[in-house]
Amino acid sequence: MLANSTPGNSTLENNMSENNVSENKIPENNHKQEMITVEVAYATPAAQVIIPVKVAAGTTAEQAIMQSGIIEQFPEINLTDSKIGIFSKISKKDAELREKDRVEIYRPLIADPKLVRKQRAAEGKKMKKGGGEA
């Protein structure tokens, strides 16, 4: 005689299967990931590119850069060495993004701005002292 085959035990089986189903249910609000729109920007002397990207809420700046595909467009970008920012403010790569943020990838400086200013100032003084041609 099987205990599970009696009509009295079918309720127990139904309760067990209902419990398994309810434990595995995902609340409706959690199964849809909230999406936000951000922009990833990069500029060279020849071109400026701004790529809009839809990402999941909680995405980091580095993840948005990778999802944008900008690395494929500009293989010279080295995220390990490049600094990034959000709306012109230096930021960490693991910074969590918000709706409508613009992630900017900065190129390394070619010349030291202080040195360039000193050179310009020195050239300007030389020209003024000469007084020009007569």
Give tens-digit pLDDT for 1-33: 444 444 544 444 444 444 443 343 434 455 578
**Alpha carbon distance 15, 131 (integer Å):** 100
pLDDT mean values, one per 10 residues, the chain (134 residues): 47 43 43 89 94 97 97 94 95 97 92 84 64 52
**C-alpha distances in Å from residue 55, one per residue of 3, 59, 86, 96:** 53, 7, 16, 11
Domains of the chain: 35-105 (3.10.20.280)
**CA nearest to 93, candidates 70, 57, 66:** 66
62 — phi, psi (to 5°)? Answer: -65, -40
User: What count of Cα atoms within 13 Å lies in the side-chain half-sphere of residue 30?
Assistant: 4
**Alpha carbon distance 14, 41 (integer Å):** 57
Supply the pTM of this predicted model: 0.61
**Alpha carbon distance 62, 55 (integer Å):** 12
**What pLDDT was estimated at residue 56?**
97
Residue 53 CB neighbours (<10 A) = 20
